[in-house]
Structure 1
């Protein structure tokens, strides 16, 4: 069975906790550092480096429980992979940008860099948790260690990290992981897996009940696509756009490179099967 190609032990709690957002340990960085534009996801414009008007003095959101109702759906989708608390508590050793305004500009600039590095750490940890990738575990572990070291740099050094170059290097390994997983998933099929090119335009596609095991959906535009009851085990979903994708009843339990942000952006219900490392969003309970 395909399930046997994952280790019986789940992700290390110690490793995962550092890659999940802990807003209590963060200086509201996503609410201050990042820009957003008035749209279906945000009720108003906000420039990068400008604290959101809903951000309170304790760095908590004043309308957290009403974000969707007030037009800030984008805030409920975002996930920093733990970059916020890493910048706040490690890079700046607990010194916040309000007490030391001189650090604000630099802190806001290095936050997205840390976000990219933590995202890569998430994918590398997932890859190492796959038994089928054991032939490249040494390379994956080396890449993880190198990425972790970059996250521990001081602010000045972190600001100089060439994230694009490092991401390209890591992506070569992730492509190998994808090929190993998808090949095994396709091997179980009696027919060839659906073939999509990277960045496939599947916006609004009717894929109800589709067998997408082992499919390459990297960077696919699945906005408002109907994937109810679809089987995505072994499908590579890195970078796929799941905004308003209907995942009710879909099986994503063995999907590859799926993130909480992607799940948060989609529609689902209690019948949607998710990896053990991800959580069912609160807004799914209304579907």
Structure 2
């Protein structure tokens, strides 16, 4: 689904232009990627950092009952329109699931579960109903409870340790060895920032832009709302300490 519905332009992330709705030239007949093992080397690093959080599978297998855009081309347009809605809902499900794993956020778990059930109910709707979902409004509700969960988790860093860097513009910032324990880095622009050896324990990294940021030797133990795609966009090494739910990207140095 991602290899067809989404557009991309020739850049450092993609070797060619592709309009929305047109299959990528590397997409095989069996829906596999013909260059999956060499995407970065072939100029498609953008593919390695994208994750639909299972939305593509949900749209194909559930919303459209297992029919593909190839088998039912008359449904393709609607399928591609539904996909970005489902992707946002699945991203919210991922964040809500993580909130339920945070012991410090236990006082909010009942509310988190209600939002999880509501989000799942929205995702189970048919295509026509999905296209009417007010995603910004629902995202606002989820964002409110995730922010409260973040505050509870970051409070464990201790008083005076919770720096507010939310939405900060820090491209190329020299933050090597910085004490960012318990920091609020939501939506911060950290493109190409030097975070080598930084203490990011218990930091909130929801939506932080880590493209080409150097995390070598950094400690992300207990950091929250950081996703695998964010790590894929960054640089790192074998000394980076990661949350247990995430894996070390293959392109990082040893």
Provide the secondary structure at the position in 2 that maps to 1:145: helix
Name 2:154's counterpart in structure 1: 182
Match of 1:211 in 2: 179
Measure, in 1, the Cα distance between the counterparts of 2:63 and 2:145. Answer: 27
Residue in structure 2 matched with residue 7 of structure 1 by the alignment: none
Tell me by how many angstroms 1:83 deviates: 1.0
CA offsets per residue over residues 217-276 of structure 1, 9 Å max, x none? 010000000111111111111110010010111111211100011011001112111111
In structure 1, distance between residues paired with 2:243 and 2:78: 36
How many aligned positions are there? 254
Select the structure with the greater relative contact order (CA < 8 A; seq sep ≥ 6).
1
Within a 5 Å distance, the mapping from 1:131-142 to structure 2 comes to 131-142=103-114
TM-score (norm 2): 0.96
Match of 2:164 in 1: 195
What CA distance in whole angstroms lies between the structure 2 residues aligned with 1:123 and 1:104?
Answer: 29
Please give the per-residue CA displacement for 1:50-92, whole angstroms capped at 9, x wherever unaligned: 1111111111111111211111110011111111111111111
- C-alpha separation in 1, matches of 2:23 and 2:134: 26
Separation (CA, whole Å) in 2 of partners of 1:212 and 1:96: 46
Q: Tell me how far apart the structure 2 counterparts of residues 136 and 193 of structure 1 sit (CA, whole Å).
A: 20
CA RMSD of aligned residues (A): 1.2
CA contact (8 A) 1:219 1:241 kept: yes
Q: TM-score, normalised by structure 1?
A: 0.86
Partner of 1:22: none
Match of 1:246 among 186, 191, 214: 214
> How far apart are 1:209 and its partner, in Å?
1.1
Q: Give, in whole Å, the separation in 2 of the partners of 1:86 and 1:193.
A: 38
Unaligned 5+ segments in structure 2 are none
> Match of 1:19?
none
For the pair 1:280 / 2:248, whether they are aligned, the reply is yes
Unpaired runs of 5+ residues, structure 1, are 1-28
Rounded to whole Å, the distance in 2 between the matches of 1:160 and 1:194 is 39
1:127 to 79, 88, 99: 99
User: Which residue of the partner structure matches residue 88 of structure 2?
Assistant: 116
